[in-house]
Amino acid sequence: MSESPKTAWITGGGTGIGRALALRLARAGWRVAISGRRPEPLEDTAAAAAGLDGEILALPADVTDADSVRAAVASIHERFGPIGLAVMNAGMFKPLKLRDFNTASFEAHFNVNVLGAVRGIEAVLPDMLDRGGRIVLVASVAGYRGLPTAGPYGATKAALINLAETLHMELGRRKVQVSVVNPGFVETPLTEKNRFPMPALITPEVAAERMYAGILSGRFETTFPRRFTWFLKFLRCLPYALYFPLIKKATLK
């Protein structure tokens, strides 16, 4: 980590991985602002931090609204000071079957998952260019290669991985560290929608520990659980002639 203040901002911080990471950071003494569209889970997460070494500020914001994002960042600066760690975690996932293929699903996913992250980066970047800091993009192993019914979601996660790679190279010279988190299956409100077996499913708390370790290490990519995600990395290296039949057999029933 850089010498930036121990102040963090997490989008999508009221549930799932975002909530667990916020509480993990607060236990380590961080001041954490969490944003999301629904105030109730944000306030519940903030209340759960009572008695911890750090604190959590519930700060409702909509990542699809640039003005809302900028206002949230301004509020964090006013309350906590400069942001040293920004975790772009807000996301949506809705499976898309071929018979329902439509533009609106892609627009909704990209507006939240990709442009939501871009709006957050745009809001924190000017100050970080002066002071340093770390930006973490939460993507997914679904961004490694195409998967059935994950067209909109996978495309956005592939875009986030590419964006993280680009910014890592461009901003590294400016003392702004950029990294990506590629989780496998985690018990969250998003994965509750899945109607298929989820190998190596882990809890948000375990995921948060892996993310926290990755943040402290400074490495570019954090992926978990490794016994599952490294297998997917192997699949990414296969030629299409092998990959397509293998995935079809495993997923298309």
List pLDDT tens digits, range 97-156. Answer: 999 999 999 999 999 999 999 999 999 999 999 999 999 999 999 999 998 888 999 999
Does 153 participate in catalysis according to the annotation? yes
Helix (H/G/I), strand (E/B), else coil: 242: helix
Rounded CA gap, 43 and 99, in Å? 39
Indicate the pLDDT class of residue 23, thresholds 50, 70 and 90: very high
**DSSP, res 208:** H
Rounded CA gap, 66 and 64, in Å? 6
- The kind and range of the H/E element at 233 are helix 226-236
Indicate the pLDDT class of residue 185, thresholds 50, 70 and 90: confident
Residue closest to 181 by CA, chosen among 145, 208, 147, 152: 208
Evaluate if residue 172 carries a pLDDT over 60: yes
Q: Bridge partners of 11?
A: 35
The structure's pTM equals 0.91
Rounded CA gap, 149 and 225, in Å? 22
Rounded CA gap, 124 and 127, in Å? 6
Which residue is catalytic, options 153, 212, 240, 243? Answer: 153
- The answer to whether 126 and 74 are in contact (CB under 8 A) is no
- Which CATH code is given to the segment(s) 7-251? 3.40.50.720
Rounded CA gap, 40 and 13, in Å? 11
Q: What is the pLDDT of residue 238?
A: 92
